[in-house]
Amino acid sequence: MVSPQFFDLVNYSFCSAVSQFLGPEKAVELFRYMGRTHYEELKKRNLIKSDGKPMEVLESIARYLERSGYMERIEIQRLSENEAIVDMYGVSVLESSVRLTQENKQPSHIMTNTMFAALEELGYDAELIDLLFETDKNHVREKWILRKK
């Protein structure tokens, strides 16, 4: 088992190097592509449910991320068929993501980019609205609004 502290440090080192080497715009592009690759591998290995309605697929990815230890818990409270409040607890890369943002570097946002890839495949995109950011409690809340392309 890999410790969350080790993973957070590796995440910081990787994202920092990518941001410095490629620049911010290309780093975002690379991390978006990484999410697509991650999503394809999850499907190939039957680790998630990839068919169905968008919210069901996002739930499946969330459960995988919990099982993998990437986050302790992800709660998706559906407000409607295309809107949800997403609460993330025990984010393994929270410290590195905050530091990268403060340094004007790009975090990988692997959960977000993996979910974006799933939505893209289903013909959707998403708008994210930051609602709460409690670093001391390791809790992040966002509102997701899904739109058919």
Instruction: Please count the structural domains in the chain.
Output: 1
Identity of the residue numbered 135: T
Confidence of residue 1 (pLDDT cuts 50, 70, 90): confident
Q: Which residue has the tokens 């990484």?
A: 34
d(CA 91, CA 49): 22
d(CA 45, CA 2): 21
Picking from 70, 107, 104, the residue whose alpha carbon sits closest to that of residue 90 is 70
Averaged pLDDT, 31-41 = 98
Domain of 63, CATH number, reads 3.90.1520.10
Confidence of residue 51 (pLDDT cuts 50, 70, 90): confident
Averaged pLDDT, 125-145 = 97
**What pLDDT sits at residue 112?**
98
Write out the residue range of the structural domain in which residue 39 sits. 4-148
Mean of all residue pLDDT scores within the chain: 96
pTM of the full predicted structure? 0.95
Q: Answer yes or no: is pLDDT of 129 > 90.
A: yes
3-class SS letters over the chain: CCCHHHHHHHHHHHHHHHHHHHCHHHHHHHHHHHHHHHHHHHHHCCCCCCCCCHHHHHHHHHHHHHHHCCEEEEEEEEEECCEEEEEEEEECCHHHHHHHHHCCCCCCCHHHHHHHHHHHHCCEEEEEEEEEEEHHHCEEEEEEEEEEC
Contact 116, 32 (CB under 8 A): yes
Min mean pLDDT across 10-19, 45-54, 115-124 is at: 45-54
Confidence of residue 2 (pLDDT cuts 50, 70, 90): confident
Confidence of residue 137 (pLDDT cuts 50, 70, 90): very high
**What pLDDT sits at residue 52?**
84
